[in-house]
Amino acid sequence: MTRGLLIVISGASGTGKGTVCKKLLNDLPEVSYSVSATTRTPRPGEVDGKEYYFLKVDEFKAWIAEEKFLEYAEVYGNFYGTPLNKIEERLNRGKDILLEIDVQGALNVKKKCPEGIYIFLLPPSLEELKNRIEGRGTESPESLARRLKNAVAEIKIGLQYDYVVVNDTIENAAARIKSILSAERCKVSRNLDKFNLGTGN
């Protein structure tokens, strides 16, 4: 059986990662979503166990001690981590898995899983990124300035990814990512079993 694809999508805060990932999961029912754990406060409408596992700091640290994470990192004062449970099992069963994680976490995963598909999501421009973050209505001027400064640094890290996708519209970004996945599924290295055709007569 062909091993499933480990799909890792990252981007600076405000790039629209969550919305693009929701579109992909809706369009590609064969792809499973790896729910991350975090210590941040849930946003309106977020459900524990669906968008994230919302943990207290001491709970998160207990998971670290028990080696329950594929990776974890501290971002903007909160912890985020990718639970290891079932990821390897799903990949071995040929199931594709989508991880939506920050750049720190993605680079840690890449060290352990270099065969994954690493996709970096970019905003159309920094001005558009600023507008999107301001549109949330959750940032103070100081927090907004910090996020924009960090976004510039994170975007440079995107050079270490396999692919870059500009999120000009949700539909366009999702379509580009689906094209990437189609191409990856056709790689010779992922289809060696299909070359065992027998000698014939």
Domain boundaries, the chain: 6-191
Q: Cα 172 from chain centroid?
A: 18
pLDDT for res 139: 72
pLDDT for res 192: 87
Question: Quick check: 103 pLDDT over 60?
Answer: yes
Q: Which of 46-50, 128-132, 169-173 is predicted least confidently?
A: 128-132
Other C-beta atoms closer than 10 Å to the C-beta of 6 total: 22
Q: Which two tokens stand for residue 25?
A: 């999961």
Distance of alpha carbon 193 from alpha carbon 102, whole angstroms: 34
Q: Which of 59-63, 66-70, 133-137 is predicted least confidently?
A: 133-137
Range 6-191 classified under CATH 3.40.50.1110: no
Q: Who contacts 193 (Cβ-Cβ below 8 Å, separation ≥6)?
A: 2
What average pLDDT does the chain have?
Answer: 89
- Radius of gyration over every alpha carbon of the chain, rounded to an integer in angstroms: 18
Question: Quick check: 96 pLDDT over 90?
Answer: yes
Distance of alpha carbon 147 from alpha carbon 133, whole angstroms: 9
Question: Quick check: 201 pLDDT over 60?
Answer: no
